[in-house]
Chains A and B, each alone.
Chain A
Amino acid sequence: MTEMTGAEMVIAALADQGVEHIFGYPGGAVLPIYDAIVQQDRVNHILVRHEQGAVHAAEGYARSTGKVGAVLVTSGPGATNAVTGLTDALCDSVPLVVLTGQVPTHLIGNDAFQECDTVGITRPCTKYNYLVKTVADLPRALHEAFHIASSGRPGPVVVDIPKDIQFAKGTYFRPKEFQHRGYRPKIKGDLDKIKEAIDMMAVAKRPLFYTGGGLINSGRAACDLLRELVKLTGFPITSTLMGLGAFPAADKQWLGMLGMHGTWEANWSMHDCDLMIAVGARFDDRITGRLDAFSPGSKKIHIDIDPSSINKNVKADLAIVGDCAHVLEDMVRLWRASAVVPDKKALQAWWEQIGTWRAKNSLAFRNSNEIIKPQYAIQRLYELTKDRDTYITTEVGQHQMWAAQFYQFQEPNRWMTSGGLGTMGYGLPASVGVQLAHPNSLVIDIAGEASVLMTMQELSTAVQYDLPVKIFILNNQYMGMVRQWQELLHGKRYAHSYTEALPDFVKLADAYHAHGIRCTHPGELDEKIREMIDVKKPVLFDCVVDPAENCFPMIPSGRAHNEMLLGDAATRVEDAVTEEGKVMV
């Protein structure tokens, strides 16, 4: 209990919550907080170039560490620029606390300079938000913000602090109890339902684990328990984009990612399974495709911490509300204790069926000696970085899907991507946050040339703080995914998806005092990727790739899992060798 100003309380609360780095941008309405920041060394401030970058950097920091990301921006445009990042964090359940300055309380509602209704604007894109109207409420609001952001289904919380509150003096304290008695996320799953789940799993003939980002949010323990349960049961497993890394891609029970650009085997397994065990995944439209044709013959067990995720899109036969680490722990224990004997014969037949789907080799592409295929570039990037301590972020589009398909994630928290909102421009600032959290690791933003231009200015942040992030741009001069949809769905009318005037990325790197590399030929790719890794500076890698390449497999939106489009290099159905499939089990 100490007397201090509101601005000092902000620092005290951040430090008490273990915040090491806060990403921000100063302005009139947060000057008192910046004045407090510069006079202490407990919380390190990272100056970004745009508030959206601050939020994405905090997201990268949060997703790669499991901690809460912290952001500080000013009122008005500072707050509105943060909105995209907030929405992104809400969609992908990323724990953030975003502090916004506000005009003094007596000016609120007067259309003051740089005033906006921050709590009004951010209400639908935050998990919760506060407008602090007296300094006495500030300590509680700050600490509750961290609690709400990180507990239950995580998400972003905004605390809007008027400038006079930052100057006002009050008593700082760390509240012991939580004011919102109605907010009690359910952590432990209902044991009877978990028993029922085990019974359903014991008799399943064609079971499948369908896992998502909830596992990453739940933490390392959840991922370890999942691995144990998958091993114990011998069931196949697939994952959403957000869940990559929870289960190792090198494992033979892994079917690859599912969904719109998922593998043939993952999507067909979803379609044909008789028991789907969804863990921390939310059946979104990129996963289900056409809802009325989604996995028609299966019983569905849905484990999620958020009751509103259950029965939202797909009816669950058995719903278990709880944190997946706790639920999986009970499942592993009960599975062992009940000494279940799964139907070995049925499982073997199921794996044989999966083997025939695998034999389709749905990710196959026609490589070239003349031009770099984007898939090949990611394959080489993976091969040359897999033995290192590597973190991958992405932008949004074709390159993101190729990264998800071809970069093999063995561990959680290594993959940072904008899944729900699909925010172009996420990857570069996110990589800044990741690199800051892991200064000695290799952090690569797999980017597209269109996306990366949206937040290119954060390269300047990376240079300022000596963060040697590698921006690996698959440059096809197109908004590739837009171009692909126009080719397949809009009669090849490529409306405004081609960027006619791109910067010279090597010169641009020079201008930012970073390192630029251009690669145009498959033969020089390995050598240049090695150069990228070795340079101890931020790198812009301009990888000039085939502009016409499409990302397959693809389930056109609104179609069913068994209506997947394949690239011409994949094995045709009639050619699929069943012998090969059998060998793989």
Chain B
Amino acid sequence: MEKRVTFGRWTIGILFAVPQLLLIFTFFYWPAGQAVYWSLTLQQPWGGGNIWVGLDNFRSILANADYWNSITASLIFAGISTGLAMVIALVLAALTDRQLAGSWLYRVVLIWPYGIAAPALAMAFRFILAPEAGFMAFANHFWPGVWDPGLDSADAMASIIIAFSWKYVGYNFIFFLAAFQAIPRSLIEAAAMDGSGVIRRFWDIQFPLITPTIFFLLVINITESFQDSFGIVDIMTAGGPANATNLMVYKIYSDGFKGLDYSGAAAQSIILMLLIIALTIVQFRFIERRVHYR
């Protein structure tokens, strides 16, 4: 879509775009290019600039078991937390959309968690799920040693998944509810006249009509699980125990800023960028369908 009426003096027009162009050049394109450069070079230990090493950084990362472990952990985290957050949000939104008495309350309250900073909710869940003091201590009291995120990798992974899903249920809920409310009421009523029940109407009318939203949220949730997980991991587990929760962004941070291995961290960043770009392209393939339904 284009404007029919525009302003003639296009030099002024460009001036309006200059602030943003300067910002994205300095803080986006230059660093992104720098990351590519660093990933292909190796910094000399005693100064003297970078030497060209080609794809060696990538080779050494991909040969590193720790890195594959980090990828696996990220994928497990992304898969389970996305699944949990989306299914729970879908059920809650579908039920809220039935608009029974009191549904306004859920519409208001269920989105609160999304406003909370990841590290703050991580702190809350660290306490709630603490083996010695919180509520899981109760479980440990009856079955000693059944829950200890500090020592058991599966428990640690479960903790960060619970914390992340709790936040993103709220986020997904907003989008699902908006999608449900965009479905014309007359469709539902016509189906009800034809004698279909609530469950039948959900599967045959509402669910197909919100598939675009489902695809959209799927991509967003997976992308966010790569980024927004950092605060949760840092506060709750710090990547431990035994690297079980050393997710990709956390590993970039610890390799780059604690291990001071810029080249390795840059190579990891490039791999993560490619992964996210691939996901975004998948999302764009579904954008047409999304627009189609509206």
Q: Do A and B bind each other?
A: no
- Report which B residues bind A (CB closer than 8 A): none
